[in-house]
Amino acid sequence: MVDQPSSETQGIANKFYIDEKDSLELLKTSENSERVKKVAVAAIFAAASIAASPIAAFIPRIPGWDIALFDPVSFFWIAAFLVGGLWIGLISSVAGMIGLFFFDPSVIGPVFKFEATLIMIIIPWLIAKLFGNHEGGSYIGLPKVYLPTMSLAALVRISLMIVTNLIVVPILYGPIFTMEFIIIYALLINGLQSVLDAIVPYLVIHVTPVFKRFGMW
């Protein structure tokens, strides 16, 4: 004869089943809510980036080259990354690049801007993945991590953009610029922009309470 479970045991089992079911439903709701928040944040930063794109029409440029001496649009792209992680940063960057095409007088400027800024996003993300112990944005936000990480990103950016300019500029503009001229200006412009891209978004996102309240990675 098989003993039937007592009503008390059955009640405990039913309660465990209900609690587990409720926990799974709450977890699923929480995950859906997190996705909605990320989409909303990405849309906000993308819209802000596009709204800032007209600034490109008023930025001083090197005569005959059309390269901008300074461009604050990338501040929004890196700020989006610092708040929301890789995908939010990428969505904002792509949206901003598309917006720049309507206002940037150069043919290739928005693509150069995207390429240069992408390095400032990918390298910190890789550092966080490799050494951040799942802390993500809070790990990158540590000054002792952020400074060397962004310094490395700036060096990679400058090197890559010098090579890119040496290849593309003669194709687009002909031999009107010497190799030395291209190297010097690519170095100076990307060096200055890298410093500003690293400092300004960091001050806004991590020095203020923005990341503590809205950080998503």
At 57, list the tokens.
Answer: 């029409």
Q: Cα separation of 155 and 71, whole Å?
A: 19
Kindly list the domain boundaries of the chain, sorted by start residue. Answer: 7-214
At position 133, the amino acid (one-letter code) is N
Q: Cα separation of 110 and 197, whole Å?
A: 16
- Tally: H helices and E strands in the chain: 8, 0
pLDDT digits (tens, 9 = 90+) for 11-54: 554 544 455 555 555 555 556 677 777 888 888 888 888 888 88
pLDDT digits (tens, 9 = 90+) for 64-113: 777 888 888 999 999 999 999 999 999 999 988 998 888 888 878 899 99
Rg, Å, the chain Cα set: 24
pLDDT bin (cut points 50, 70, 90) of residue 61 is: confident
pLDDT digits (tens, 9 = 90+) for 153-204: 999 999 999 999 999 999 988 888 999 999 999 999 999 999 999 999 999 9
3-class SS of residue 61: strand
| CATH topology classification for 7-214 | Arp2/3 complex 21 kDa subunit ARPC3 (1.10.1760)
What is each CA distance from 143 to 91, 111, 148, 199, in whole angstroms? 26, 30, 9, 11
